[in-house]
Structure 1
Amino acid sequence: MVNGTDCHGFSSAKTWDSLRPRSTIKLWASSIWFKGSVPKHAFTMWVANLNRLPTKDRLLSWGLNIQPSCCLCTTHPESRDHLFISCGYAEFIWHHILAKLHRSHLFYSWSELMSWIRRTTTASPTLKMLATQVTVYNIWKQRNNCLHNGTYLPPQTIVKLIDREVRNVITGRKGRKRFQNVMSQWLS
């Protein structure tokens, strides 16, 4: 018996639904979990959106004794919004990526970035979501390489890596409906 209804036997689906009821669908869910996304990019974007990445401001709040400054620009304390939006390193990258998506100005906050992804523009929604996820992933990856390995790549190199990765993802999914005509938009 589940929720007052006789199941006439065991049902794993009804048992799961009873133990783990579904939450309401979040406004940002379709911007992160979309068909054709790369799992590692989507996962990083999801954790970043929830502000759960172990940025230095969070590590400090946990009591770790570390330098709070961003390892990419070394001028401001590292937080999610600084690292992905207002850091000079990230701004350089976003400037080049957003130019490919026909957007002229940068974002001021994470919420503005998420709002732009959902808004209808001339760029394909799939391309916007893909490019954003690849950019966030690569900034986070570079931050970790800089912090843990002492390897610093200039932002121009990261822009080239992002461009190559977006092209590879589009090429790998060119037979899918949502990815038709996306390469021509990315290259224009």
Structure 2
Amino acid sequence: MKPLVNTVMFTHRKYKIAKGYILLNSVHDRVNWSKEVWGRLNTPKHSFMLWLAIQDRLKTKARLHSFNILPEAKCQFCKVADETITHLFFDCPYSSDCLQQVKNWVCWSITASQLPGIVRVIGRMKATRFRKMVLSVIMAALVYHLWRVRNESIWLSSLDNPTSIVQKTKAASKIRIQSVWPKKVSAKDLEWYTVL
């Protein structure tokens, strides 16, 4: 049997890796939330969950109901409205209470109450890079813990109170930030962080 002959023709031009990368990599529009979602200080699984939430890709009850997987779409927390991403983060009174406690904790008086708006505010706020990264870590942890408690409520029939979720968010955020502490943090930012 004859060996297969490669029919690709080679050119005599010099190959450059950068041009090959551009050829293989499709052009994507830059999103305004990438630094906040994929921040260096963020816990990777929290970032992934935040990324899914911002893109409306979490398997909420409303989403599963639309595919005829679930018979009803009521929110697992409040049992009143349909469980959509918008409702879950942070229209629901349960998650809204968690968000308000987090805002009080970091002395943050923003008016945004929807997840995309909050992430956009973090990116646009006039604050140091360190403070923005810390707020991103906290929001990613809050989204992760809300989703986790929501799932535990479904599968284990147990529901933590909002204060418990905020405590988990605080602990996870502080552990992560201290484990990947940046090399340069101003004295003012260090003082701000230590009172959290």
Give TM-score, length-normalised by structure 2: 0.80
Q: For 1:1-188, what aligned pairs fall within 5 Å after superposition?
A: 8=14, 14-15=19-20, 17-104=22-109, 107-121=112-126, 124-177=131-184, 184-186=191-193, 187-188=195-196
* Equivalent residue letter for 2:139: T
The gaps in structure 1 that reach 5 residues or longer are: none
Deviation at 1:109, TM superposition (A): 2.5
CA RMSD of aligned residues (A): 2.6
- Residues 182 and 97 of structure 1: is their aligned pair in 2 closer, same or farther, counting only changes over 3 Å? farther
AA partner of residue 102 (structure 2): I
Give the fraction of aligned pairs with identical amino acids, expressed as a percent.
Answer: 22
Question: TM-score, length-normalised on structure 1?
Answer: 0.83
Structure number with higher relative contact order (C-alpha < 8 Å, ≥ 6 residues apart) = 2
User: How many Å apart are 1:137 and its aligned residue?
Assistant: 0.6
Q: Is the 8 A contact 2:149 2:159 kept in 1?
A: yes
CA separation in 2, counterparts of 1:59 and 1:87?
A: 18
- The aligned length equals 183
Greater shift in the superposed pair: 24-33 or 75-84: 24-33
Structure 2: give runs of 5+ residues left out of the alignment: 1-10
Q: 1:106 to 1:87 in 2, by over 3 A?
A: farther
